[in-house]
Structure 1
Amino acid sequence: MTTYAALLRGINVGGRRLPMADLRGLLEGLGYGDVRTYLQSGNAVFTSAGRDEQGIADDLADALAEHCGFRVDVLVRGHAYLRAVADACPFPAAELEGRQLHVTYLSEPLDADRFAHLDQDAYLPEAFRLGDRALYLYTPDGLGRSKLAEALAKPGPYRGAIATSRNWNTVVKLVEMTRG
């Protein structure tokens, strides 16, 4: 058995409502075990035997579309990957508040050239760094006030990739919950 986290993009924001009890029920209905959710923003942890991450993500996205009536982007990642992303953080996570540090999980690796149009110095002290299918974002005043986050959210850098962000507190909690 492998423990996974499903990261849903854009749930319970902008009118795209999904009760976490429904998400748990969908995952259980697909045959996954030990299903738990975290917060109301589309984080679920569960166990599975013999399935790959993309297959699970596709099945869950299809089930969500049927249940909700709208398409939901889904990323599924195992504990080893989530732990590696947390361990590779290029910012001093232990010294920061959870609201100051975010990880955008990506469906594929992104080349730094996609971000060449951004003059990072213009956004200091805010900063971002690319990792393994992840983008780390440091926003000392929080995400809501971040000009860099606003620039990164514009169409372009993520084109063709699924991207969903979590604050550092959620990153750490998902590592803990998928420990197995």
Structure 2
Amino acid sequence: MTTYAALLRGINVGGNRKLPMADLRALLAALGHTGVRTHLQSGQAVFTTGRGDEESLAAELGRAIEERFGFAVDVLVRDHAYLAGVVRACPFPAAELEARQLHVTYFSAPVTPDRYAHLDQVDHLPEEFRLGDRCLYLYAPDGLGRSKLAEALSRPRTAKGLIATSRNWNTVVKLAELTASPA
């Protein structure tokens, strides 16, 4: 049995694509997963299962959401080892920063530096980003809402089929904690 986190992109934002967390928990349980829990209202669920892998579990959940709620949702599923590795590999001094200053964008596949070669990082200082294992770490000292670098990073340069979803540092750490052991 492995404990995973499901990261749903773009739900419950601005009153659009509403997916109540109680319904998400029920849906995951109906798919046969155990220890189902959700975190916040922005699309994080933790569950345990003995079948599938990250990609097949994400596809299964995405199909189930579309069938049940009538809209498509991009879903990433990551296991505890990966999530804990993202926390450990943070290239910024996370313990010295406010959670609003540090974000992680999770990708469905590896992303190479050439994807961001068009950006001159010096132009965006003191904001910075670093690539990790299927993720991008963003340091935005004034928060994400005021970040010019976050805006530049999110411009449509996404390869077809690549899913990207971001979380603040508190959520990144909490998901690693929640997946550490089954409920």
Shared fold, TM over 0.5? yes
Moved over 3 A (4+): none
Whichever residue aligns with residue 103 of structure 1, its letter is V
In the aligned structure 2, how far is the partner of 1:106 from the partner of 1:12?
20
1:139, distance to aligned residue in structure 2 (A): 0.3
In the TM superposition, what whole-angstrom CA distance separates every residue of 1:31-80 from its partner, at most 9, and x where no partner exists?
Answer: 00010000000000000002111111010000001112111000000000
Matched ranges for 1:134-145 at <5 A: 134-145=135-146
Q: Which segments of 5 or more consecutive residues in structure 2 lack a partner in the other structure?
A: none
Matched ranges for 1:157-172 at <5 A: 158-160=158-160, 161-172=162-173
In the aligned structure 2, how far is the partner of 1:175 from the partner of 1:77?
10
TM-score by length of 1: 0.98
Q: Which segments of 5 or more consecutive residues in structure 1 lack a partner in the other structure?
A: none
In the aligned structure 1, how far is the partner of 2:65 from the partner of 2:159?
23
1:3 matched residue in structure 2: 3
Matched ranges for 1:1-180 at <5 A: 1-14=1-14, 15-156=16-157, 158-160=158-160, 161-180=162-181
Q: Secondary structure at the match of 2:76?
A: strand
Whichever residue aligns with residue 47 of structure 1, its letter is T
Whichever residue aligns with residue 13 of structure 2, its letter is V
Higher mean alpha-carbon deviation, 158-167 vs 141-150, is at 158-167
In the aligned structure 2, how far is the partner of 1:54 from the partner of 1:159?
17
In the aligned structure 1, how far is the partner of 2:27 from the partner of 2:121?
41
1:159, distance to aligned residue in structure 2 (A): 2.4
Task: Count matched residues.
Answer: 179
In the aligned structure 2, how far is the partner of 1:23 from the partner of 1:130?
31
In the aligned structure 1, how far is the partner of 2:51 from the partner of 2:154?
35
TM-score by length of 2: 0.96
In the TM superposition, what whole-angstrom CA distance separates every residue of 1:65-105 from its partner, at most 9, and x where no partner exists?
Answer: 11121110000000000000110000000000000000000
Higher mean alpha-carbon deviation, 50-59 vs 120-129, is at 50-59
Identity of aligned residues (%): 69
1:16, distance to aligned residue in structure 2 (A): 1.3
